[in-house]
Chains A and B, each alone.
Chain A
Amino acid sequence: MTAAATSAPPGRRRRRLPRLGKATPYWLILPGWLWLAIFFVVPIAIMLSVSTMTGDIADGFKQTFHWRNYTDAWTAYHVQFVRSLAYGAIATLLCIVIGYPVAYWIAFRGGAHKSSLLFLVLLPFFVSFVIRTQSWNYILSDNGMIVSRLKDWGWVDQNFHILQRPVAVIGGLTYNFIPFMILPIYVSLERIDTSMLEASADLYANRAMAFLRVVFPLSIPGVFAGVLLTFVPVASDYVNASILGGSTGTTMIGNIIQTQYFTNLNYPTAAAISFILMAILLVGVFLYARLLGTEDVLEAAGN
């Protein structure tokens, strides 16, 4: 090999190498950068700019660097911000608690049916998000199949209802986003070499110990990716809160943004709220990444 390489015409090789060396990777990554610039940087910059404007739709909005849009928005809507983050955290936790065993079971017990089981996890995506959420309105309705049974059996009193309570909203969020938790966990579990489990058994670890010391640590990148994929969209969701909630004390920040944008046509406040939400989520994600180690994250993202 070495001989063959050195015997290649030196002139040709020298001419090609410099070009490959410096500029090419940048050219290759250009589409990616362009994509980011057009669909991320530009909108974000516009949103940031709009968020400090003042005015109204008829007279126009002018850039006045009115930073009070931010403080005003926080003062008016901090309750909904906190609620959204709390709902996000609870729903994400529920997704882990429910999704992890599912992923585990598919990865280690799925056998020949792994792909069909994964397909089942993804199957709900074939129906629109709104329709799936709306269908819970029928399932959980006061005289629907579940609540009326509970009433018949005398387990709950006649005025009991599930819809329009926080539990309905959080349940809807968990239901809608759980596949985003199951899939990355499954991927990280699936790559675990089973000989490691045999090795831990050889070293007198019982099954619980083997899970805690070997399987779970190895699956953390998957859990991390799952948390990112669920928490961020859950905290900013507004569909579940408007379909399954809508009562006093279930409004999420996404609903407020929608009202500010569509009903009040107050673009600056809507932009400021969106920016606060984004900032909170970004800071949260970075802190979280720090806590768990970024290398694992990149690895998980790379998967």
Chain B
Amino acid sequence: MTEDTTEGIDQHITPDLLRGLTSPRISRRRALQIGGLSALGMTLAACGIPGAQGSKLGLSAARAEIAKFWATHQKTGNLNFGNWPLYIDVGANKSDHPSLDLFTKETGIKVNYLEDIQANDTFFAKIQPQLAAQQSTGYDIIVITNGTYLDKLIELDYLTPLDQDRMSNFYQYSSTLVRDPSYDRGNVYTMAWQSGMTGIGYDPKRVGHKITSWNDLMDPALKGKIGMFADNEDLPTSALFAIGVNPETSTLPDWKKAADWLHKQQPLVRKYYDQTYIDALSKGDIWASMAYSGDIFQANLSGATLEFVIPKEGAGIWTDNMCIPQHASHPVDAMTYMDFVYQPKVAAILAEGINYITPVTDAQQYIQADAKAATGKDKQTLEYLATSPLIFPSAAEFSKLHRYRVLTKVEQIVWNNLFEPVYQS
């Protein structure tokens, strides 16, 4: 590292970026990596499953490899985009996506849009054997939430470093929330798709009073009517807020206290939910629950009267990120698309369709303009959108939002052992 830094690196490169760049990203040497067990023979299994971390290249070598990679790839006119269901704008016909049509019109690149990602963990398990075998996953862009699985993808060299020269819109329009984020310093591998908050969603009619604090989810009056998440990121993070700790900087004693808080809450909790909590909340099986901001917004658009709060102790914020898996067939087309969505007018189209926090603050003006032009129910919806704190949180609200704790390997095990028994008892 020291030798490399004396070679005349630009001073503004952060240490994380440096570290990111010095890992070998386009290594051709590893023929066999960690494997989906399916890829392994018996003999291999008998002696072990090899790890996936290659040796570190020097910085200049890594940079040269990256530059060479982008120099040798060209636009192909095709793009395979793997995303989550219901996570893009839809046209009059449900299978139309106006933003994608616009992209094809402007660039000539045809998009094969696939709603294949149901969860970070299962999707990781799906693409991992192919990546381990140095094969294409079939996707040029995938969308992964910051947290364990994005960290793993980066750590295991499964992502292609982005071409920083093809990110002009990103550097001009992206909001501070998603530029140079803690989980990917220098945006070496990722550009944000959308962000969201994990706070509390509740039905004011059933609860009967305002909910303002995570500790309202410890209210015995709500016994059996409280929903929590069955996951080891949002659930612990929320509990850390509840005990008054910023999760990003939390320590082991804090985690223990948070786990105690959750254990104490167990008898009141109806269920540790997956994505189905929103259904249970709308139907009235539960009255108050941990919730994603966009889900509550969308449920309300389709007739529910739920409320979303950022509790006074704070709430978690997460970002889903576009990234290019290794061995993608159309990386240049992927870069083109990823930068394309950072134009405010495109970001506005997406925000109107998705209802999460857009990475482009300037999109607000376009939504307001659209609201002026629209009539009837559309107008109402767009106005709600343009002013909603769930889409454009205020500065005061932003200050209460914090990201997940980035965990080391050893910490991760301690963390899992503390929090998994809460939702799997």
Q: Mark A254-266, 1 if CB is under 8 A from B, else 0.
A: 0110010111110
Q: Which of B49, B155, B409, B425 contacts A61 (CB 8 A)?
A: B49
Is residue A198 contacting chain B, with contact meaning CB distance below 8 A? no
Indicate whether A246 sits within 8 Å of B125 (C-beta atoms), given known contacts A53-B49, A57-B152, A142-B284.
no
Determine if B425 and A249 form an interchain contact, defined as CB atoms under 8 angstroms apart.
Answer: yes
Q: Are A163 and B48 in contact, with the CB atoms below 8 A?
A: no
Question: How far, in whole Å, are A97 and B46 apart by their CA atoms in the complex?
Answer: 46
Contacts of A248 in B (CB 8 A): 266-267, 269, 425
CB neighbours (8 Å) of A49 from chain B are 42, 45-46
- How far is B424's CA from A249's CA once the two chains are assembled, in angstroms? 8
B1 in the interface, Cβ–Cβ < 8 Å?
A: no
Q: Given A46-B45, A57-B52, A248-B266, A143 and B284 touching (CB < 8 A)?
A: yes
Q: Mark A141-169, 1 if CB is under 8 A from B, else 0.
A: 11110000000000000010101100000
| A-side contacts of B45, CB under 8 Å | 45-46, 49-50
Q: Within 8 Å of chain A (Cβ to Cβ): is B29?
A: no
- Asked if B330 lies at the interface with its beta carbon under 8 angstroms from chain A, I say no
Contact with B along A41-80 (1 / 0, CB 8 A): 0100110011001011111111100000000000000011
* Nearest chain A CB to B218 CB, angstrom units: 15
B48–A53 CB distance below 8 A: yes
- Do B424 and A60 touch across chains, with their CB atoms under 8 A apart? no
* B164 contacts across to A, CB distance below 8 A: none
Task: Return the chain B residue nearest A159 by Cβ.
Answer: B224
Most interface-central of B37, B50, B424 (chain A CB within 10 A): B424
Contact call A251/B51, Cβ cutoff below 8 A? no
A117 vs chain B, min Cβ distance (A): 35
> Which B residue sits closest to A252, measured CB to CB?
B424
A180 close to chain B: CB less than 8 A = no
- How far does the alpha carbon of A42 sit from the alpha carbon of B43 in the complex, in Å? 10
- B49 close to A55 (CB less than 8 A): yes
Q: Which B residues are CB-close (under 8 A) to A59?
A: 51, 53
Contact B270 A247 (CB under 8 A): yes
Complex: A144 Cα to B280 Cα, angstroms: 11
Q: Are A262 and B122 in contact, CB atoms less than 8 angstroms apart?
A: yes
Q: Does B305 contact A (CB under 8 A)?
A: no
Contact of A63 with B46 at beta-carbon distance under 8 Å, contacts A57-B52, A142-B283, A262-B122 already known: yes
Contact among A58, A143, A159, A259 with B52 in the assembled complex (CB-CB below 8 Å): A58
Q: How far is the CA of A57 from the CA of B125 in the complex (A)?
A: 12
Given known A-B contacts A57-B156, A267-B37, A246 and B409 have beta carbons under 8 A apart: no
| Closest residue of B by beta carbon distance from A50 | B45
Chain B nearest Cβ from A264, distance in angstroms:
6
CB distance from B231 to the nearest CB of A (A): 8
The reply on B272 being an interface residue by CB < 8 A is yes
* A84 CB, min distance to chain B CBs, angstroms: 13
Known contacts A58-B51, A143-B284, A246 near B34 by CB under 8 Å:
no
In the bound complex, do residue B50 and residue A247 qualify as a contact, i.e. CB atoms below 8 Å apart? no
Task: Give the residue among A137, A144, A247 with the most B Cβ atoms within 10 A.
Answer: A247
Chain B: which residue is nearest A45 at the CB level?
Answer: B42
In the bound complex, CA of A84 to CA of B225 (Å): 26
Once the chains bind, are B34 and A259 in contact (CB under 8 Å)? Answer: no
Is A242 located at the chain interface by the 8 A CB criterion?
yes
Q: How far in angstroms is the closest Cβ of chain A from B151?
A: 10
Per the bound structure, the CA–CA distance linking A249 and B266 in Å amounts to 10
Q: Which chain B positions have C-beta within 8 A of A161? A: 224, 270, 285
Which residues in window 224-261 of A have CB below 8 A to B? 242-243, 245-249, 251, 255-256, 259, 261
Q: In the complex, what distance in Å separates the CA atom of A243 from the CA atom of B49?
A: 33
**Is B130 close to A, CB under 8 A?**
no
With A246-B273, A251-B424 already in contact, the answer to whether A163 and B285 are too (CB < 8 A) is yes
A residues in contact with B37, CB < 8 Å:
46, 50, 267
A57-B156, A161-B224 given; 8 more Cβ-contact pairs under 8 Å: A46-B37, A58-B53, A58-B152, A61-B49, A62-B48, A255-B424, A262-B125, A267-B37
